[in-house]
Amino acid sequence: MKIIVTGASGKTGQIVVRKLLENSVDVRPVVRSEASKAKLKAAVPAVDPANVEVVESFEKASLVPAFQGCTHLVILTSSQPKLVVSSLFGVVWGKLMGKKGVRPSFYFAEGQEPERVDWIGQREQIDAAKAAGIDHVILISSMGGTDVDHFLNTMGNGRILLWKRKAEKYLMASGLKYTIIHPGGLLPHPGPKRESCEGGKRELVVGVDDEHLNADDRTIPREDLAEVTVQCLTCVTCVNTSWDLVSKKEGQGVVFSTLAKLLQSAKSLHCDFSKPDLDSLLAA
Ligand SMILES: NC(=O)c1ccc[n+]([C@@H]2O[C@H](COP(=O)([O-])OP(=O)(O)OC[C@H]3O[C@@H](n4cnc5c(N)ncnc54)[C@H](OP(=O)(O)O)[C@@H]3O)[C@@H](O)[C@H]2O)c1
């Protein structure tokens, strides 16, 4: 096994790389800049900078050489919404006036919109994986893709979850082996609300079609998501499956042990991708 991790400098990407190295797995992290390479090295000192590929433009032609000789691709790239700081005044004012549901505003930097990063950028990675002879792609996406009006879709008018879903469908049709994970909200969350985010302390729960989207338990520590991602590399049950992943609160239920056991207990491992109608929604 030789594993490519893209988005390796991101918050979950760093943990996946760290866990692979701890398990002596051959990993080739891929990042988009020298600054991100330095960020990864600072977060995971065991990383050998000589093994980190810097690919500035996530296009098939530049990705294929980086992917060559690898067996698995873990995709952890994502567009990153930026906060409109002045919108926080509205949030504070709304709270003072007793209004509920007032949210801050976000935007995407030019050229870094979800269509570019989550759709085109991931499509290029999938095409490159195919060209480089990669066997199995593990795509970390997000819960919420069935809900056109989900807050994340309205953020910066980016329709991020819909573009992510388009990439998921592309992967499923690619002929490559795939595993698509839709995690709930990742812990730690930004902002003042502090919830424990230690890994290996919670029961994990698998679902399909956003069944946990509005449940009380709809988050998961990045540490646990990274552990599941790493176990996907050796779990045959996860091949050609797509599912949502959340956790119970610490102290409730039975702490996660193995992915094979978790998936065996799931009632379905196949989300319904027939809805929403992405072609008409994204063409609009
Ligand atoms: N945050 C949540 O609550 C939540 C919930 C559900 C699902 N998810 C999804 O879970 C995954 C992991 O989330 P995370 O918060 O750990 O990620 P993150 O910290 O935001 O990392 C995103 C990664 O994508 C890279 N990236 C951004 N734009 C890129 C581009 N144009 N080309 C190539 N790489 C690019 C970033 O590189 P740099 O380091 O160079 O910036 C970074 O490594 C993401 O797909 C996210 O959407 C998140």
Specify the pLDDT at position 193: 67
89 assigned to some structural domain: no
The answer to whether residue 103 sits within a structural domain is no
| Residue found under tokens 């998921």 | 168
Residue 130's domain spans which residues? 2-80+114-283
Return the exposure string of 119-139: e unless at least 16 CB atoms fall within 10 Å of the residue's CB, then b.
bbbbbbbbbbbbebebebbbb
Ligand 1 centroid vs 229 CA: distance in angstroms? 15
Instruction: Find the angle CA(135)-CA(52)-CA(69) to the nearest 5 degrees.
Output: 30
Structure tokens at 42: 């600072």
Mean pLDDT of the chain: 96
Q: How far is the CA of 67 from the centre of ligand 1 (A)?
A: 19
* Gap from CA of 81 to ligand 1 centroid (Å): 10
Residue 209 forms part of a structural domain: yes
Residue 186, ligand 1, Cβ within 6 A: yes
Tell me which of 39, 77, 112 to substitute to probe ligand 1's pocket, judged by most ligand atoms within 8 Å of the beta carbon: 77
**Quick one: average pLDDT of 253-272?**
97
CA 23 to CA 9: how far, in whole Å? Answer: 19
pLDDT at 148: 96
Give 43's pLDDT tier (boundaries 50, 70, 90).
Answer: very high
75 close to ligand 1 (CB < 6 Angstrom): no
The whole-angstrom separation of Cα 48 and Cα 206 is: 34
Nearest alpha carbon, ligand 1 atom 24: 77
**What is the arithmetic mean of pLDDT over 1-25?**
98
CA pseudo-torsion sign 154, 150, 8, 218: positive
DSSP sequence for 200-229: SSS-EEEESTTTTTTSS--EEEHHHHHHHH
The pLDDT value recorded for residue 27 is 98
Out of 78, 153, 187, 222, mutate this one to test ligand 1's pocket (max ligand atoms within 8 Å of CB): namely 78
Within a domain: 107: no
Does ligand 1 come within 6 angstroms of the Cβ of 78? yes
CATH number at residue 189: 3.40.50.720
Q: With a cut of 80, say whether residue 31 has pLDDT above it.
A: yes
For 52, 187, 251, 253, the CA distances from 196, given in Å and listed in that order, are 31, 8, 11, 16
- Sign for the CA dihedral angle at 195, 200, 202, 203 comes to positive
Residue 225 CA, ligand 1 centroid: distance in Å: 13
Q: Do 202 and 221 form a contact (C-beta atoms < 8 A)?
A: yes
In the chain the first and final C-alpha atoms are separated, in Å, by 42
Higher pLDDT, 274 or 194: 274
What's the CA-to-centroid distance between 10 and ligand 1, angstroms? 6
DSSP letter for each residue of 220-264? EEHHHHHHHHHHHTT-GGGTTEEEEEEEPPTTSS-----HHHHHH
Provide φ and ψ at 119, rounded to 5°.
Answer: -100, -70
Per-residue pLDDT of 138-196, as tens digits, reads 999 999 999 999 999 999 989 999 999 999 999 999 999 999 999 999 999 887 667 77
Question: Among positive and negative, which fits the CA dihedral 235, 209, 135, 125?
Answer: negative
Q: What does the pLDDT look like over 74-127, one tens digit per residue? A: 999 999 999 999 999 999 999 899 998 888 999 999 999 999 999 999 999 999
Question: Which pLDDT value is given to residue 192?
Answer: 66
Average pLDDT (59-88) is: 97
> What does each C-alpha distance from 51 to 17, 21, 130, 180 come to in angstroms?
12, 12, 21, 26
Q: What is the pLDDT of residue 131?
A: 98
109 within some domain: no
CA 28/CA 117 separation, integer angstroms? 21
What is the model's pLDDT at position 284? 78
Catalytic residue among 36, 78, 142, 247: 142
Q: How far apart are CA 284 and CA 280, in angstroms?
A: 6
Number of independent structural domains in the chain? 1
Closest ligand 1 atom to Cα of 75: 45
Q: Is residue 99 part of a domain?
A: no
Q: If pLDDT is split at 50, 70 and 90, which confidence band does 53 have?
A: very high
Q: Is residue 108 part of a domain?
A: no
**Active-site residue, 142 included:** yes
- With cut-offs at 50, 70 and 90, classify the pLDDT of residue 203: very high
**270 CB neighbour count, 10 Å cutoff:** 14
- What integer pLDDT is reported at residue 235 of this predicted model? 98
* Residue 189, pLDDT score: 87
